Amino acid sequence: MDMDFTTITKKGMILKGVPASPGIAMGTAYLYTKEIPRVEERALSEHEIDKEIERLCRAIGKSSKELNKILSFAQQKVGEGKAKIFEAQIMVLEDQILIDSIKQRIRSERKNAEFIVSSEIGKYASLMLTARDEYMHERAHDMEDLKNRIIRNMQQEKLVSKVEGSIIIVAHNLTPADTMILSRNHVLGYATDLGGITSHAALVSRSLKIPAVVALGDVTREVETGDFIMLDGYSGTLVIHPTEQQIAEYEQKRNRMLQFEAQLVELKDLPATTRDGHSIELSANIELPEELEYVVLQGSQGVGLFRTESLLIGRDDFPSEEEQYHEYKKIVDRLYPQRVIMRTFDIGGDKIAPEMAEEANPFLGWRGIRVCLDRPDLFMNQLCAMLRASMRKNLAVMFPMVSTIEEVHRAKEFVKKAKAELRSKNVKFDNTMSFGVMIEVPAAALNAAQIAAEVDFLSIGSNDLVQYLLAVDRGNNLVCNLYQELNPAVLVTLKHVINAAHKHGKWVGICGEMAGHPLAAPLLVGLGMDELSVVPAVLPEIKKIIRSLDYKQMQKVATTALNFSSADEVELYLRKFIKKAIPDIPLDTDNS
Ligand code: PEP
Ligand code: MG
């Protein structure tokens, strides 16, 4: 009934968001809720009861494993006192009386486990909330958290098996982990209420080549599971129950874009060299080892950024050195003789959370190299695994989120230690393996010369650098107009970093999203960037731009761009330049 009603009232309704990953998708919507799981009451038949109890037990087991991991993180990081919150949650999970009474109720009331868990644990939480004591109130929130964790674990298991066929995920927000876990089903597209173009979920969908539109505002209220929707990742629109005419228009557009993409195929084996013979290393960013074949097909010259956090997805512990070694080796073997740059774990921010106490400002908190330096066990495992995988000499490693020179020194000490450890075990590695630093914190950009003197290369992480330079959350749509990659402050900073690296005879690349924007490419090359590492989907287009222009021309473009005083002026200038110099490049506003 509901669906029929929606079909009539919302037919052809268009929601406008921000395009996050190109492509057009049409399919059935699946509403994915995570933050506060929605619990439905469902009657069970006799034969479903045992299975339901098994499902409950698995979710409890998984929740307990997660909580134990959080507990050990918390003990190390925030001390025993605060970590007690998690101990208390584990104790509740191990409370046999509570568990028995949940099981008992599932049997006697014949209701689904989520419903009974919600009611039984919810009962305690409400009781605590009625107390006048502040301490008890906080414990009530902990009970709510625990309840949601168990329910989420039950629902996730169900989701993975339930989401069959082709669907478009509609969610309030998606973490990179959600995006990847969900993509293991046949997902045609993602649409979210929140998010910005460089949010990690957006990056993940781009690298998975799944169309995505973020910042749609209210999409989770407007769309229901089962609705037929159409998603345009070029212009950032979502249409609910599209009309025949809308479908025809979108199909035409899809064909147009596919034709342009087909033109680029012939560039596959050609180098990224300008018309006057200046060569740029054009490599790809990858999130998942599964992307490698696609990267090769796209004609990449290597991998400029492998975000190793993907190894942590869907698991509640850290992979061992051995496991990591095998994963890394597969990648370097597949791409040999091309170079692969791996980044050490960049945990925190909006990426895989270190699963511990919440931080008020995660982007200014415990992330990137800070976590690695605080967790020697984890860092050593990863460095040893990478060194072991380096024997073909085509692996380089870089450190994320560096802000001080001391961090560089300390990271290098760890590398020394890892090498010594391997030597003591007679394990071979490439002793000349290059180490670099990502420049993504303004302090590191300003001190780029000192950093460059210490390492083999620099790689600019423009997603974070822009966020921190302009104090704009990269994932927050409310301030997305202020997220300006072409802001003069950004351009001056890029030039400063490039000069600093070159002064020390080191090469410098850029691996943030900016590197893959057609408008920015001539500017970046003209500024003197030695390497551009881009999402695989846009690589052929960027290659086409580089091959269509002279280096001298791009240097002029960069000099002119550095003289403007606003991002709008820079953008207008670049837009005009590309339109005139390479008219067949479709710029984003041409797509809508
Ligand atoms: C960046 O910040 O530009 C970058 C490449 O790293 P990530 O997007 O993974 O934070
Ligand atoms: Mg970054």
d(CA 398, CA 393): 15
Ligand 2 centroid to 512 CA: how many Å? 7
Mean pLDDT of the region 564-568 = 97
561, 519 contact by CB (below 8 A): no
| 407 in a structural domain | yes
What residues sit around ligand 2, an ion, with C-beta below 5 angstroms?
Answer: 440, 461, 464
| 256 in a structural domain | no
Asked whether the predicted pLDDT for residue 591 surpasses 50, the reply is no
d(CA 592, CA 581): 22
pLDDT of residue 1: 36
Ligand 2 centroid to 128 CA: how many Å? 41
Q: Among 130, 155, 180, give the residue marking a domain's end.
A: 155
Residue 147 or 533, more confident: 533
Neighbours of 560 (CB within 10 A): 15
Q: Whose CA is nearest to atom 4 of ligand 1?
A: 461
- Kindly report whether the global pTM for this prediction surpasses the value 0.85: no
By most ligand atoms within 8 Å of CB, the mutation choice from 206, 303, 352, 438 for ligand 1 is 438
Q: Whose CA is nearest to atom 9 of ligand 1?
A: 307
Ligand 1 atom at minimum distance from 285 CA: 5
| 260 in a structural domain | no
87, 140 contact by CB (below 8 A): no
Range from 229-238, 290-299, 365-374, 412-421 carrying the lowest mean pLDDT: 290-299
Q: Annotated catalytic, 409?
A: no
State whether 202 and 66 are in the same domain: no
| 278 in a structural domain | yes
Ligand 1 centroid to 505 CA: how many Å? 24
Asked whether the predicted pLDDT for residue 183 surpasses 70, the reply is no
Q: Among 227, 243, 259, give the residue marking a domain's end.
A: 243
| 191 in a structural domain | yes
Q: Which residue has the tokens 């009530």?
A: 140
Q: Among 124, 155, 186, give the residue marking a domain's end.
A: 155
pLDDT of residue 305: 97
Q: Which helix (H) or strand (E) holds 21?
A: strand 18-21
Per-residue model confidence as pLDDT tens digits over 7-34: 556 788 899 887 888 889 999 998 887 5
Mean pLDDT of the region 52-63 = 92
Q: Which of 161, 203, 164 is nearest to 462 (CA)?
A: 203
Q: Long-range CB contacts (< 8 A, 24+ apart) of 201-204?
A: 201/20, 201/173, 201/174, 201/175, 201/176, 201/350, 202/20, 202/21, 203/176, 203/285, 203/287, 203/463, 203/513, 203/535, 204/176, 204/179, 204/180, 204/287
Concatenate the DSSP letters of all residues of 521-552 into one string.
Answer: HHHHHHHT-SEEEE-GGGHHHHHHHHHHS-HH
Q: Give the closest ligand to the alpha carbon of residue 285.
A: 1
d(CA 173, CA 171): 5
Q: What is the CA radius of gyration of the chain?
A: 25
Residue 92 or 72, more confident: 92
Q: Which of 403, 406, 411, 401 is nearest to 368 (CA)?
A: 401
Q: Which helix (H) or strand (E) holds 122?
A: helix 113-130
Asked whether the predicted pLDDT for residue 6 surpasses 60, the reply is no
Asked whether the predicted pLDDT for residue 491 surpasses 90, the reply is yes
Catalytic option among 172, 241, 511, 517? 511
Q: Residue 132: which domain range?
A: 46-155
Ligand 1 atom at minimum distance from 512 CA: 3
State whether 176 and 319 are in the same domain: no
The two three-digit tokens of residue 236, written as one number:
């950032």
Ligand 2 centroid to 522 CA: how many Å? 22
State whether 107 and 175 are in the same domain: no
pLDDT of residue 257: 82
State whether 202 and 111 are in the same domain: no
What is the CATH classification number for the domain harbouring 99? 1.10.274.10
Ligand 1 centroid to 27 CA: how many Å? 31
d(CA 285, CA 275): 25
CA atoms within 13 A on the CB side of 323: 9
d(CA 131, CA 514): 53
State whether 296 and 433 are in the same domain: yes
By most ligand atoms within 8 Å of CB, the mutation choice from 464, 483, 485, 529 for ligand 1 is 464
Q: Annotated catalytic, 278?
A: no
| 251 in a structural domain | no
Contact residues of ligand 1, CB 6 A cut-off: 203, 305, 307, 346, 440, 461-464, 511-512
Q: Coil, helix or strand for 276?
A: coil
Q: Which of 348, 16, 327 is nearest to 200 (CA)?
A: 348
Asked whether the predicted pLDDT for residue 468 surpasses 80, the reply is yes
- 239 bridge partner residues: 14, 230
Ligand 2 centroid to 511 CA: how many Å? 9
State whether 13 and 112 are in the same domain: no
| 454 in a structural domain | yes
| 363 in a structural domain | yes
303, 331 contact by CB (below 8 A): yes
pLDDT of residue 200: 64
Range from 80-89, 323-332, 452-461, 471-480 carrying the lowest mean pLDDT: 80-89
Ligand 1 atom at minimum distance from 198 CA: 8
State whether 356 and 483 are in the same domain: yes
State whether 529 and 421 are in the same domain: yes
pLDDT of residue 318: 86
State whether 284 and 375 are in the same domain: yes
**Count of domains for the chain:** 3
d(CA 499, CA 480): 29
State whether 214 and 293 are in the same domain: no
In whole numbers, what is the pLDDT of the chain averaged over residues? 87
Q: Which of 206, 138, 173 is nearest to 36 (CA)?
A: 173
Say what percent of the chain tops pLDDT 90. Answer: 57
Asked whether the predicted pLDDT for residue 2 surpasses 90, the reply is no
Q: Whose CA is nearest to atom 6 of ligand 1?
A: 461
Mean pLDDT of the region 408-436 = 98
What is the CATH classification number for the domain harbouring 501? 3.20.20.60
State whether 343 and 205 are in the same domain: no
Residue 521 or 365, more confident: 521
By most ligand atoms within 8 Å of CB, the mutation choice from 511, 529, 533 for ligand 1 is 511
273, 546 contact by CB (below 8 A): yes
Mean pLDDT of the region 296-324 = 87
pLDDT of residue 18: 78
pLDDT of residue 225: 84
Ligand 1 atom at minimum distance from 464 CA: 2
Strands 281-286, 212-214: pairing is: unpaired
Asked whether the predicted pLDDT for residue 586 surpasses 60, the reply is yes
pLDDT of residue 377: 93
d(CA 443, CA 439): 9
What is the CATH classification number for the domain harbouring 18? 3.50.30.10
Per-residue model confidence as pLDDT tens digits over 330-347: 999 999 999 999 999 998
Q: Whose CA is nearest to atom 1 of ligand 1?
A: 461
Range from 166-170, 197-201, 223-227 carrying the lowest mean pLDDT: 197-201
State whether 397 and 515 are in the same domain: yes
pLDDT of residue 503: 98
d(CA 414, CA 437): 14
pLDDT of residue 238: 95
Asked whether the predicted pLDDT for residue 40 surpasses 80, the reply is yes
Label residue 471 by pLDDT band (50, 70, 90).
Answer: very high
Per-residue model confidence as pLDDT tens digits over 532-560: 999 887 899 999 999 999 999 999 999 99
Q: Which residues of 37-74 are buried (b: 16+ CB within 10 A; e: fewer)?
A: bebeeeebeeeebeebeebbeebbebbbebbbbbbebb
Catalytic option among 172, 200, 241, 517? 200
State the alpha helices, DSSP H only, in 389-516.
Answer: 405-424, 442-446, 448-454, 462-470, 488-503
Ligand 1 centroid to 198 CA: how many Å? 9
pLDDT of residue 581: 97
86, 11 contact by CB (below 8 A): no
Mean pLDDT of the region 106-121 = 93
Ligand 1 atom at minimum distance from 463 CA: 3
By most ligand atoms within 8 Å of CB, the mutation choice from 204, 307, 370, 469 for ligand 1 is 307
Mean pLDDT of the region 437-449 = 98
Label residue 397 by pLDDT band (50, 70, 90).
Answer: very high
Asked whether the predicted pLDDT for residue 592 surpasses 50, the reply is no
Strands 457-460, 281-286: pairing is: unpaired
214 φ, ψ to 5°? -115, 175
